[in-house]
Structure 1
Amino acid sequence: MIYLDYSATTPISDLALKTYMHVSTHYFGNASSLHTCGTDAASIIESARSTIASLLSVTPRSIYFTGCGSEANSSALIALAKGNGRNGKQLVTTPLEHPSVLQTFAYLESQGFTVSKVRVNEYGQVCLSHLRELLQEKTVLVSIGHASAELGTIQDLESIGDIVKEHGALFHSDCVQTFGKVMIPVKEAHLDSFSISSHKVYGPKGAGACYISPQTSWDSFFPHTSHEKGLRPGTVDTAGIAAFAAAAEETYSMQTDIEKKVRKLSEYFTKTVLSEESIILEGHPDKRIPGHFALRFDQREGQYIMLELNRRGIAVSTGSACRSGSSSPPASMIALGRSSEEAHGLIRLSMGKFTTRDDIEKAVEIMQNLASREMTGGI
């Protein structure tokens, strides 16, 4: 199987796997226990916290480990909203956000907050003038992802952050898709909070983290809990966190080389597949996640294309893995002004550090055959 769904998850690296096994074997104590086994595990976690913080140029005490990127989003957003609700009840986001953000905002609506959504242009970029219109004195929190998981479009967080700061609101960004691929402009965008995930950077599943600025007030959804400085309940996964830090550090050290390789493969893919008139690229043509392609086959169902590619040994997706199984069209496509039929045509192909030229050549051949309705069997 040729794997081209790196935006959904990545294979665990050898280093991350070795780290996980080593820590599981030798540092299995509960990090909250006061005996030596516990304090040794706690030391491993604090070392991982410092590693992640160093990669992002933030202070270690601003990093909170979670069970995944989705939990990082929900925990941070609820904590910020609860801790600052006295300042206002309006929340602002976009229709492009990951389900974990939109679902959290739906919950906060049920708790008395109001939610406003910023319009985006035909490429999925936030309309800055509309953002200015939406922001009010009662706006307490803005959450706009660094890049859309489905479209791949990267937002201008610096310009967005300047506008949010002018209005005195808090700014959170879902950076799960961009972590380890492009720089996260923490200071430049005036970010008060952001989320990242282990399994997007060749680490194990079951580990994530959120950053919350030490200058920002917050109040946990879970009162009186003790883990991660009160942000969440539950014994932390020492081995998973250590492997997360190892994978992130390794990915950062290889980031330039991976990006160069992926961009070269992307150039070939663009020249070949996108020369087909019936295959349309959605999202911004240039300002997008390296190696990410949101494609629409004209008048063809995306799920059908995905299944046909799968039958021929190519793994892609029809959008965010966290909305798989949904019969509704991708909200990101509707936000671009696409019809429901067009939106259902979306597939997502994403490359990573293990993708080869041979993989892409085979994928190109099959996709061209599908586009011309030549249903050839096998690879």
Structure 2
Amino acid sequence: MYLQQLTVINFKNYTEAELQFSRGVNAFTGNNGAGKTNVLDAIHFLALCKSYFNTIDIQQVKQGADFFMLNGTFERDDVPEMVACSVKRGQKKLFKRNKKEYQRLADHIGQFPLVMVSPYDSSIIMEGSEERRRFVDNVISQADDRYLDELIVYNKVLANRNALLKSIADTGRFDPPLLEILDEQLVASGTRIFQKRRAFMETFTTIFDQYYRFLTGEAERVELVYDSQLLNAGLGELLKRSTEKDRALERTTSGIHRDDLVFSIHGMPLKKFGSQGQQKSFLIALKLSQYNYLLQQKGFKPLLLLDDIFDKLDEHRITKLMQLVSQHEFGQVFITDASAGRVQRIFEQIGVDLKLFNVAGGEIVSGE
């Protein structure tokens, strides 16, 4: 799969832009703040119905405008697929595929799989468990169209259970049968999600180990471990054990919404003991593993978006990474970097063709 062309209207700092892409490597260079990352975010929005950086759609509209529009033509197996998106103030977001509007945006997820690597990914390591669950859910949702529906069900039941716990605390009225019904629903959905996450992690960790060793020359020992309460007991049992605690805290303390990933280097927490370069290598290995997993599950190559990834990586790791993503295993790649000279030099060294775009002040010029 690859993206042939992209049209952007009133998106972030762009009034209008129309771009034609290479099937291989496409690089956007220019000063910081010029809008390089915004092009990648537009591609992400078309593929996954949202910005990578900001969940509030209306904030993607160019200042002074009332709407934005994105249009793209994807190609898979020589068949063009047209995707269009529009967001207008005061109206719902519209998504169309081949001119037919989606009734549920969830049905679009996974149709055009995509992996984004960004400096913002540091939150996966540095922030709380929610960021790591979001990463896992993003990967599985693009590969399994029923997973996202299961998550929606679980989160709705979880919200209802938490509301009931708060009501019990506020009114003093405890309704065991109602709590039991919600527990049964949470167990059914949560157990299915846990099983999918565990199966995913069994495959994913093996892929991850291979990529990290490649990037670092096997110089460092890292571990990626799935941590879930359900590894030790069934969700039904966990909920029964924590009933009194849940009532006291007015929230559900057991379930897959507490799952986490544990990252370590040489047996120590990566967050505290990993250098910036080691952490970035870890994140890149995570994202390349996501790419490989989606390739295996979907049977075709996702898009790979690399935003400002050369920062904090030494020359050796940069060259290894570019050699890797330029191989046959990978498909279309989009890169941003401040230095056109650096990008050209790297790809000349590894003998890979490059389509270069210069970005300045919301204007994009192709320079083959």
TM-score (norm 1): 0.21
Kindly indicate which of the two structures has a greater share of residues assigned to strand.
2
TM-score (norm 2): 0.22
Structure number, greater radius of gyration:
2
Kindly indicate which of the two structures has a greater share of residues assigned to helix.
2
